[in-house]
Each structure stands twice: as structure tokens, then as C-alpha cells.
A and B are shown apart, each in its own frame.
Chain A
Amino acid sequence: MKKYDIRIRRGAFHEKRTSRYKNFDQLSRRYKKERIKQVMTRLFYLLFLVAVSVALFFLFR
């Protein structure tokens, strides 16, 4: 079995082909959502660490 699926393309690639996918506003909205998720996850870990630290403090004092 061949390692690669090699396809020979005839005809040049046209830049206009990409224009319908190019959308920075949409990507920017996705980025903002992902950033919120990232910050929330970090906050959750931080809260978890604080909770564990407090629990350990009261357990072993």
C-alpha cells in the first residue's frame, strides 16, 4: 500500500478560492469565546487550589 495519496493538480490555484472562507470577524468572535473559557478554567483551578489549601490548613492546624 502506498504511503501517500498523491494527487497531481492541473491548473493554477486561484486566490479567489479562499475569499469565501476568509472572515476575521467570525474568527474574532470565536477568539473572544475561547478566551472567556480559558480565563474561567484558570479561575476554576485557582479557586480549587485555594479551597484545597484552606481545607488542609483547617485539617492540620
Chain B
Amino acid sequence: MKEETHIENAQLDYNEEELLLLSKKNIDHFGKIYNKQYDSIFRFVLRKTDDDELAADLVSEVFLKAMLAIKRFQYNGVPYQAYLMKIARNEVLAHYHRTKKRMVISIDETNLREILESEVEVKMEAEKVISLIDLLDEDEVAILELKFFEGKAFYEIAFILEKNESTVKMRYYRALQKLKEKVSGQ
């Protein structure tokens, strides 16, 4: 059995920080982080591309970049997943910049209905929401996506978007307010 496969499959009870330290010394340990985080990063990218093949390519680039930068990575309490999402977001934005296509936002219908009912306090057809989302700017959409679909805390969103936490909170409530006003005006 190859050593890397052995490390990857070993049931080691390391926490994230220890695993990152081990990966800095021996990159084969990164396999455990890769296996743990792959699905969530893939889903995150898929929501922004709606294309399996493209998402797989971008996710592969994300992990490659993370591996190449592992020695420079400083653990500051923000989960590593947020760090990977930050790279993923930049990869997706770079892709849309290169191809000059409109950004895809793929939303799960059931999820959307739940969010609308709990946060905007309104029952609405999913199709009608499309016109409302178009009123929001790129940052507001990103904040709402990360908050609702990824379940991220404000400090993680601030880290991913490279913004201040209070700015993120303010923009989040402003975006919700904007949606409520438009819904009540319709």
C-alpha cells in the first residue's frame, strides 16, 4: 500500500488546526482535508455555475491553489472551509471575467421558499423572486447566498468577501429590507 493512501485513509482524530500543521510538513495529510471539504466546496461552486464539469475543474484549481499556499496559511480561528470558499469565489469570479458571461445563480426551490417565508415573511412563486434578486448588487447576493445557502456566520462571510463584519451585517439587513419593500410594493 502506498504511504499517501495510508495517510489519507487513516482514521486520525486530528482537529482542523493539527491537520493543517501536519499538511504543512507532509502534503499527503491534505487528503483528509480534501475528502472532508470537497462536497461543500463543489456544491458552493456548482451553485454559481450550474455545470458539473466546470464546477469540477474550478474546484480542482481551488484545492491546488490551497495546497500550493499551505505553507503560508496562518490559522486565525476562521474555519478552513471559509478560506477554501474565498479561493473558490475568486476562481468563479475570474472564470466569469475571462468568459464574459453572466453569473449563474442556481437556487434550490424548496430552500428558497423556506427562506422567503422565514426572512422576508412572504409566500411567493420562485419565478417572481428572480426579478427581485436582479435588484441586488453582486455583494448583496453573495452575502445572502453565504448566509442562507451555506449557513455561514457573519464573521466567516466577512472573511470570504474580505470585508468588515459590521459592513456585512449592515448590507445583509439592507438587502433584506430592499426585498421586503419591493415585495410589499408589488
Listed in ascending order, the chain A residues whose CB lies under 8 Å from chain B are 2-10, 12-13, 15, 17-18, 21-22, 24-25, 27-28, 30-31, 34-35, 38
How many of B's residues come within 8 Å of A, CB to CB? 42
User: A5-B103, A15-B39 given as contacts; is B50 within 8 A of A10 (CB)?
Assistant: no
User: A18-B39, A27-B64, A31-B67 given as contacts; is B104 within 8 A of A5 (CB)?
Assistant: yes
Closest B residue to A34 by beta carbon equals B68
The 17 sampled A-B contact pairs (Cβ below 8 Å) are: A3-B134, A4-B102, A6-B106, A6-B107, A7-B104, A7-B107, A8-B107, A9-B109, A18-B39, A18-B43, A21-B60, A22-B38, A24-B8, A27-B60, A27-B67, A28-B27, A28-B31
Type the 1/0 row for B93-131, where 1 means its CB is closer than 8 Å to any CB of A: 000000001111111111010000000000000110110
Mostly helix, strand, loop or mixed at chain B's interface? helix
Query: What chain B residues lie within 8 Å of A31 (beta carbons)?
Result: 27, 64, 67-68
Q: Is the CB of A22 within 8 A of B35?
A: yes
User: A9-B107, A24-B35 given as contacts; is B4 within 8 A of A4 (CB)?
Assistant: no
